[in-house]
Amino acid sequence: VRRAYHPRVGDTEWADRVERAVRDVRLDPGQVLGRYPHQLSGGQLQRLLIARALLLDLRFLVADEITSMLDASTRIDVLNLLAGLKDRGLGVLYITHDLSLGTYLAERTVVLRGGRVVERGDTQKVFGNPLHPYTRTLLAAVPRIGRPWTEAAPVDACAYHAGGAAGSGEDLHETEPDHFVACAHLPDCGRTRP
C-alpha cells in the first residue's frame, strides 16, 4: 500500500498511520503487526484487510462476502466494526448472500437475479414487503427459530405491470416511495396490465 499509493510518506509517519489503522479496526498493533497470516485468526485477518483499505484514505469500501468464512461471534464483531466505520462517514457496499447481514447493516438493498436488479429500495421496505417472487423465495429460505420452513408466498399479480409500468421503457416500477420492483415474468402478467 505504501509503495503504490504513499511513496513519499516517511518511515515514522507511515508506522504511525499503520498503528492508527490497526487500532481503528479494534486490534492491538503489538499483537498482530509483524506476524504471518497463518498466525492470526480469521477475524484478525478480516480486520487487517479493512485496516489496509483504510490506509488508502478511502471514502467508499466494497465488502464482498466479508463475513462468509467467519464464525458467529467473530462475524458480529466485524459487522459492528463496519457499522462504526460507516457512522464515521465511510460508505460501505455490502455484497452478500446472507440476508440477515443486509437487514442488520444496510439502509438500502438491491436484490439481483442473474445479474439484473429485480427489487431495490429502503431495506425495511424490501424485506418487510418483498414484491418480487425471487426476493420472496430468498427470504423464505432464511431459517427462523421456532417456525417451520415454508414456501415463499405466491404472487397473484406482477406488481410491475399492475403499477402501469408495462411499455413505459423502465426496468423497475416504483410501487411506493423508495421501493422498486421489476417484472416478475409471470405467465399471467398480461391480464394485470392497464
- Exposed / middle / buried, residue 4 (Cβ in 10 Å: 0-12, 13-18, 19+): exposed
- Which DSSP state fits 190? G
What kind of fold does domain 2-105 have according to CATH?
A: Rossmann fold (3.40.50)
Quick: pLDDT tens for 59-85: 898 888 888 777 877 788 888 888 888
Q: What is the pTM of this model?
A: 0.75
Residue listed under C-alpha cell 518511515: 11
pLDDT the model gives residue 166: 61
All CATH 3.40.50.300 domain ranges in the chain, comma separated: 2-105
Report how far residue 49's alpha carbon sits from residue 117's, in angstroms, rounded to the nearest whole number. 29
Q: State the Cα–Cα distance between residues 46 and 66, nearest whole angstrom.
A: 7
| Distance in angstroms (rounded) separating the CA atoms of residues 103 and 74 | 18
3-state DSSP of 29-58: HHHHCCCCHHHCCHHHHHHHHHHHHHCCCC
Q: Give the pLDDT of residue 186.
A: 59
pLDDT of residue 168: 59
DSSP 68: T
Check residue 110 and give its pLDDT: 94
Q: State the amino acid at position 9 in one-letter form.
A: V
Q: d(Cα 156, Cα 188) in Å, to the nearest integer?
A: 9
Positions of the chain with pLDDT lower than 70, given as ranges? 156, 164-170, 186-194
Contact 96, 104 (CB under 8 A): no
